[in-house]
Structure 1
Amino acid sequence: MTRKLYYIDPYQMDFESKVIKIDEDERGFYVVLEETAFYPTGGGQPHDIGTLNGVKVFDVEEAEDGVRHYTKEKLPYGVVNVHGSIDQERRVDHMQQHSGQHIISAVFHDQFGIPTTSFHLGKDTATIDLDTEHLNDDLLKKAEEQVNKIIRDNMPVETKWMSVKEAAGYPLRKPLAVDGEVRLVVIPGIDYNGCGGTHPNFTGEVMAVKFLGWTKNKKQVRLEFVCGQRVLDKLGQKHQVVTGMKRIVPKPEHQLVEEVYEMIKVSKEKDKRIAELEEQLLQHEAREILSASQGERVIQRFFKARSIKVLQSLGKAIIEEASNAYLILVSEQDHQLQFVLAHGADVNRNMNEVAQQILPLIEGKGGGKPNFVQGGGKKVIDGETFAERVKALL
């Protein structure tokens, strides 16, 4: 089995090792080494990435034959030794997030009686599932303060290999799921946990923790958070957003939310008024069309760039007054034709049947109620010709 240097020194980012095996499986080419500093996926922590002799390592997994390093290309035939290099930024980030999670889970469990049931370390944020159905702002504030105090206290983070029997002598929060030797991660007086992940030597290296919010997840809650450099990254992102907002809304930061809310409220009121005026215009247009039709059996109109929604509204307004007429409304878009076919209350005909006869003309789709259908398709013929073809059917 591969000797795991990341357990000996999690800060070791470069190493030399002998090649044991070069092979290929469904994931691609992989290399097994005599010893490695690459951490494989496990325990909620993603794998390291880096290079072997300059060849990119994109995945690392533990298998029966040792730790497999999956490479973008196959290492040259006959290579005996390799130089491995870990992506330091990713490794340190994972150490910060994972150790931060240990502290967060410890505080929620010990201070508030809420155990953690699962942990996920994502690319941008991390989450834990907590065995409770609700969190409140006051509890979150207190928990976050406690977590950051432990970080500032710069307490040691120790790792110890021991038997399961020996581990039982520590105040573990949950029973160990392994036999034989177990690796215990210990923050004295704070956390005692069986864990195979990488961690810094002191809590101060976690830098800080910020809770980002929570959502319900079945009968539990999922708490989202960031630690370490990710806190600064999030702060930078939010600062950019706020700075951009202040250019648009020249108000102090603490007034931005209220000001934007008022702007949205005013905008919605304007949209509502515009919609009412547009409806009035459509009603007026419908009356003009009815007046101009002078009792025609088929009322037919062609438009440019009018939406199907407008056609539907106009069509309904016309048909309400034209009880014994057919209606054809057609609109040309850039590369499409859209239409409404309808008839008044005194006409007995299923317009779906008419639509099915004319839809092949535009390779289209459509349907609706027997007295009112809508549809659209490709503009393979012009709108006026299409309308005339429909009129001929009626």
Structure 2
Amino acid sequence: MKPWQFETTVTDVRTDARGTWVALESTLFYAEGGGQPPDVGTLDGQPVLDVQRVEEVVWHLVEPGLERGTFVTGIVDEAIRHDHSIQHTAQHVLTALLEDEYGIQTLSFGIGQEESSLEIETETLDWTQIESLERDVQRIIFENRPVSTYELASAEVEVDRLRKPTDRTGMIRIVDIEGLDYNACGGTHVETTGQLGIVHVTSMKKVRGNVRLTYVAGHRALSAIHSSRTALRTIHQTLSTTNETVAARVLEERNLRLERDKEVKALEARVAKAKVAAFLQEDNYVITHIGKTEAETLTTTIVERIAATGRIAVGANHTGQKLWLMHDGTHDIAIGKFLKRTLDDLGIGRGGGSHKQAQARFESVIELERATAEIVKRLQEGMVSC
């Protein structure tokens, strides 16, 4: 029999909105809990889509077909189980070090598909502290400390050693990392800290007055390093930089881009002024501007300037496949309602807005042109009652 393969009998079946759930006489599948996702695998070749524990019964979500009394073979996906065990054990090490070395408590924990996260009880944390934390974690990994899991009767638990108090009774599962952590935990873990490989913090974000750290461990960390190296190598090749000069070069490029953006905006303002001046030579109630190649920002600037003169402005931008309608508030036309009604009549585009201005986006330039023509027609013919 393969590792993580077992044979058992279906003892109960129930259904709900999600599908068919089966309970088994015995199971190796881990049910979701404590921040750790459920195991995945198969029962008689059918994928196990979810595993949940309800009142001490482990239920497995499967495709319909398994009936009570059926003898089945279960296989747990060993690679995913091992990955979850690595991420969970890494959390124990991070939590213990954060509390022991920095006086910071862990509030919550979760394993995601790509990254895991910790919310920790502190308002501030900087990357110098995170790098120091990572070095501490790596020291624990190099020491290859044993990670033991065992069950004790509640009376036998060394309560004073518990990392976090527990209100569980009866038999309690303990996770013990030698000289570092002693905790009540029902999750899965590796056998030694050396199996974590490397633990890498990927981001830090303030949430609810606390800090959320995301991290990766094991193969996830290796994949993250490979991804970062690929991105860095691309920057080196594009900007002719080295590891020592890349940060300064990127900042230089950013500053140059900001300067170019200022120049572009100044030029756009001049272009908009000239185009609006030309439009105002026309004695039209509705003025339409079509921007076939220009940036959206230029189109919106032109539309705003036309509207400010007391006209109704219609602007279409081919690049973004967007349309704007605007007036200065002196007209009775409810632009947002008018635009929405027109789009509904045409059966194209998505948009709306307020009394004075509105915008819409389309799936194609053809739709944009069709909507623009119909809107201008209705405005000119006075078909705007709302």
Q: Same fold (TM over 0.5)?
A: yes
For 1:135, what is the secondary structure of its paired residue?
Answer: coil
For 2:245, what is the secondary structure of its paired residue?
Answer: helix
Q: 1:68 aligns with which of 59, 62, 65?
A: 59
For the structure 1 residues 211 and 270, does the alpha-carbon distance in structure 2 shift closer, same or farther, using more than 3 Å as the test? same
Q: Note if 1:142 corresponds to 2:128.
A: no
Q: 2:73 aligns with which of 68, 79, 83?
A: 83
Q: CA deviation at 1:79?
A: 5.9
Q: CA deviation at 1:67?
A: 1.4
Cα distance between partner residues in 1 of 2:204 and 2:251: 23
Q: 1:126 aligns with which of 98, 116, 120?
A: 116
Q: Note if 1:312 corresponds to 2:292.
A: no
One-letter identity of the residue aligned with 1:256: V
Q: Note if 1:43 corresponds to 2:34.
A: yes
Q: Which runs of 5+ in 1 are unaligned?
A: 1-10, 320-325, 343-348
2:365 aligned residue: none
1:168 aligned residue: 158
2:220 aligned residue: 230
Cα distance between partner residues in 1 of 2:359 and 2:149: 68
For 1:31, what is the secondary structure of its paired residue?
Answer: strand
Q: CA deviation at 1:192?
A: 0.4
1:253 aligned residue: 243
Cα distance between partner residues in 2 of 1:216 and 1:354: 42
Q: 1:182 aligns with which of 131, 156, 172?
A: 172
Q: 1:31 aligns with which of 17, 22, 28?
A: 22
Q: 1:53 aligns with which of 44, 53, 56?
A: 44
Q: CA deviation at 1:333?
A: 6.2
Cα distance between partner residues in 2 of 1:83 and 1:100: 31
For 1:379, what is the secondary structure of its paired residue?
Answer: helix
For 1:192, what is the secondary structure of its paired residue?
Answer: strand
Cα distance between partner residues in 2 of 1:191 and 1:336: 58
For 1:271, what is the secondary structure of its paired residue?
Answer: helix
Q: Note if 1:15 corresponds to 2:1.
A: no
Contact 1:30–1:74 (CA under 8 A) maintained in structure 2: no
For the structure 1 residues 130 and 64, does the alpha-carbon distance in structure 2 shift closer, same or farther, using more than 3 Å as the test? closer
1:104 aligned residue: 94
- Of stretches 307-316 and 228-237 in structure 1, the one that deviates more from structure 2 is 307-316
1:6 aligned residue: none
Cα distance between partner residues in 2 of 1:155 and 1:337: 63
Contact 1:352–1:367 (CA under 8 A) maintained in structure 2: no
Contact 1:302–1:387 (CA under 8 A) maintained in structure 2: no
User: What whole-Å deviation, never above 9, does each CA across 1:175-212 have from its counterpart, x for those lacking one?
Assistant: 11201221111112111000111112111111111112
Cα distance between partner residues in 2 of 1:217 and 1:356: 36
For the structure 1 residues 327 and 79, does the alpha-carbon distance in structure 2 shift closer, same or farther, using more than 3 Å as the test? same
2:145 aligned residue: 155
Contact 2:300–2:324 (CA under 8 A) maintained in structure 1: no
Q: 1:352 aligns with which of 322, 329, 332?
A: 332
For the structure 1 residues 289 and 214, does the alpha-carbon distance in structure 2 shift closer, same or farther, using more than 3 Å as the test? closer
* Normalised TM-score (structure 2): 0.81
For the structure 1 residues 219 and 330, does the alpha-carbon distance in structure 2 shift closer, same or farther, using more than 3 Å as the test? closer
Cα distance between partner residues in 1 of 2:342 and 2:202: 55
* Normalised TM-score (structure 1): 0.80
Contact 1:96–1:206 (CA under 8 A) maintained in structure 2: yes
One-letter identity of the residue aligned with 1:182: I
For 1:268, what is the secondary structure of its paired residue?
Answer: helix
Matched residue count: 362
1:278 aligned residue: 268
Q: CA deviation at 1:361?
A: 6.4
State the Cα RMSD in Å: 3.3
1:379 aligned residue: 371
Cα distance between partner residues in 2 of 1:208 and 1:131: 24
